[in-house]
Amino acid sequence: MTMEATRYEDGSISYPGHPRSREGTEPVGTVDLSEYTAEVVTWTTSTATPPGVREPNTLAIVEFDVDGEPVRAIGQVAADDVATGDEVRPVYVEELRESGAGIREPDSQAWDGYRFKPV
Amino acid sequence: MTARTQATDGQTDRVAVIGASMTQFGQREGEWILDLLAEAGLECLADAGVDASAVEHLYVSNMTSGEFEGMTGVMNALAHDLGAIPAYTQRVDQTSSSGGAGIYAAWQSIQSGASEMTLLVGGEKMTHATTGESTDIIASIGHPVEYKHGVTLPSFAGLTARHYLERFDVPRESLAKVAVKNHKNGVDNPNAQFQKEVDLETVLESPIIADPLRLYDFCPVTDGSAALLFCPESVAREYTDDYAVIAGVDGATDTHVVHEREDPTVMDGVVKSGNGVYEMSGYGPDDVDVAELHDMFSILEFLQMEGLGFAEQGEAWQLVEEGYTEKTGDLPVNTSGGLKSKGHPLGASGVAQGVEIYEQLVGEAGPRQVDAEVGLCCNVGGFGNCVITTIMEAAR
């Protein structure tokens, strides 16, 4: 499995990828963020979670440094404690949320992915 | 069809608001979306003294009648129920900013000359669903990478609030004071969901919802509807001397994926729509006498105050501490009680913001009345994904 970000013609990288970059340029390649560590920008613990989501659900926005290009991602935290500035690494999880429990059509998207674990 | 620029008296024919209404917001047991929309629509027409047969365009701001109730086609159903057939109808969905987008659509319909009488009704029926279900329906606006992690709108608020508090060294109590202020204002709004004050201790000791935010930092789940009636200023004068004018309206978007924003504390849609509305109206932040901001979460009031130029980045909390945004302050914010106290029936909220500003400008706000000639409302969809900002002024 990979945590695939998209690199664009203008040098920017985004996770998730889009058909065009913010500046409107085309994708030119991918970057596997699971090979990098990231720094926690901010985090929260949500106690009122929707159907099919673990409770409590600690989430973080993290920032990867891919050869000098910042790339942010959001995801669940694989630990009880986390703090702003912590270094984390992505760890693969087969099912982040029970597909079909919420309103979204289960076949419309993937349900596996990466949690962030403090290093 | 030509754009409307001149009235018969040779003056620029601006878009006027001549009527307004809102239903009781809260838990409206046994009443569904069509009941709520019809109640607000009929009351608005009565407020203006306009017959339904005069309505040429009818817009319905609504985000989720299909998801919550299994009821679609609400705009046509409302035209029938109001006796407004054969008015042109359109449902306006821009998530939580559907109401503001409805104001924009109504303004366009009059300004373009396509309609001489446009009724806008916003509404939502939500409280029959569980909190988890309603949270999930609203969270379905998220990108798949957000949705699969269980990211909700309240969790975006928690993430942003923590970043804001840490980065700008802001006391937690300042956020709580937004909730205290808006609950205090809501006491004077008979249509508000909550008409009771809360103290700082209650806010700070309420259950954690999305750390560091607690229950009283969030708006409730709400049923309700609100309406506004628009026409050219030349037509408005046939009905009343007391009306408001749309001085400016503009909308903008920001990234769908929230974490892709360069600065988590800047809502670029607020900045861009604010700049647009200031340019169109000729007014600036210092000219605004009263504002309705989209306080779905307490942190959003800070971010909109900063994005609209009422405060520098990271400093809005100081104005709240100084009482600047109190009803008696230099810039009263959310005299209606805001979404926090008044409630947040998604598609109705932006319209209800407009109702409050209209009532302030025509002097019909009762105990909430402040001295105002120019009012602003900022309606936020998603977590700043879509934003509509409107400036109204009292008729001169």
pLDDT block averages, 10 residues each, chain B of length 396: 47 90 98 98 98 98 97 98 98 98 98 98 98 95 97 98 98 98 98 98 98 97 98 97 97 98 97 98 98 98 98 98 98 98 98 98 98 98 98 93
Q: Has residue B63 been placed in a domain?
A: yes
Residue A8 falls within a domain, yes or no?
Answer: no
DSSP 8-state symbol, B26: B
In three-state form (DSSP H/G/I as H, E/B as E, the rest C), the secondary structure along B70-96 is CCCCHHHHHHHHHCCCCCEEEEECECE
**Is B279 part of any domain?**
no
Let me know if residue A30 belongs to a domain: no
| Residue of B158, B140, B124, B160 lying closest to A52 (CA atoms) | B140
Tell whether B152 is within 8 A of chain A (Cβ): yes
**Domain membership flag for residue B56:** yes
Partner-chain residue, chosen from A14, A49, A108, that has the shortest CB–CB distance to B150: A49
Residue identified by tokens 């006491």 is B187
> Does A18 fall in a domain?
no
- Structural domain range at position B65: 15-129+221-239
In a domain, residue A112? The reply is yes
- Per-residue CA distances from B234 to B5, B118, B293, B362 (Å): 11, 14, 30, 17
The packing angle between helices B153-168 and B172-186, to 10°, is 130
Please tell me which residue of chain A has the smallest CA distance to B265: A42
Task: Return the sign of the alpha-carbon dihedral for residues B202, B205, B211, B214.
Answer: negative
pLDDT at B9: 54
Which residue of chain A is at minimal alpha-carbon distance from B158?
A44
Q: In a mutagenesis test of the B interface, which of A44, A53, A92 is the best target, namely the one with the most B β-carbons within 10 Å?
A: A44
| Other Cβ atoms within 10 Å of B282 Cβ, number | 10
pLDDT of res. B11: 57
Chain A: give the shortest CA distance to residue B269, in Å: 15
pLDDT digits (tens, 9 = 90+) for A64-117: 999 999 999 999 999 989 999 999 999 999 999 999 999 999 999 999 999 999
Interface test with A, best of B148, B159, B219, B383 (most A CBs within 10 A): B148
Separation of alpha carbons B28 and B327, rounded Å: 29
Number of domains observed in the structure of chain A:
1
Distance CA(B100)–CA(B339), nearest Å, equals 14
Interchain pair A102, B208: CB under 8 A: no
Per-residue confidence (pLDDT) for residue B396, from 0 to 100: 74
Considering only CB atoms, which chain B residues are within 8 Å of A109? Answer: 144, 147-148
Q: How confident is the model at residue B317, as a pLDDT?
A: 97
Select the residue from A6, A46, A47 to test the B interface by mutation, using most B Cβ atoms within 10 A: A46
The angle subtended at Cα B162 by Cα B158 and Cα B164, nearest 5°, is: 115
Three-class HEC string of B270-337: HHHHHHHHHHHHCCCHHHCCEEEECCCEHHHHHHHHHHCCCCCCCCHHHHHHHCCCCCCCCCCECCCC
CATH code of residue B65: 3.40.47.10
User: Inter-chain contact B144–A59, Cβ cutoff 8 Å?
Assistant: no
Q: Which domain holds residue A105?
A: 36-118
CB B348, CB B122: distance < 8 Å: yes
Taking a C-beta distance cutoff of 8 angstroms, is the pair B290, B370 a contact? yes
Q: Is residue A74 in a domain?
A: yes
In whole angstroms, give the CA distance from residue B363 to residue B256: 39
Handedness of CA B49, B55, B61, B66 (dihedral sign): positive
* pLDDT score for B142: 97
pLDDT at B13: 87
- What's the gap between Cα B249 and its chain centre? 13
Is the residue at B166 inside a domain? no
Nearest to A14 among B159, B162, B260 (CB): B260
Judge whether A9 lies within some domain.
Answer: no
Q: How far apart are CA A76 and CA A60, in angstroms?
A: 6
The answer to whether A46 contacts B258, with C-beta atoms less than 8 Å apart, is no
ipTM score? 0.98
Confidence at residue B1, expressed as pLDDT on a 0 to 100 scale: 33
Q: Which residues of B15-39 are buried (b: 16+ CB within 10 A; e: fewer)?
A: bbbbbbbbbbbbbbeebbbbbbbbb
Whether pTM > 0.90 for this model: the answer is yes
Domain count, chain B: 1
Beta bridge partners of B123: B225
Cβ–Cβ gap B158/A44 under 8 Å: yes
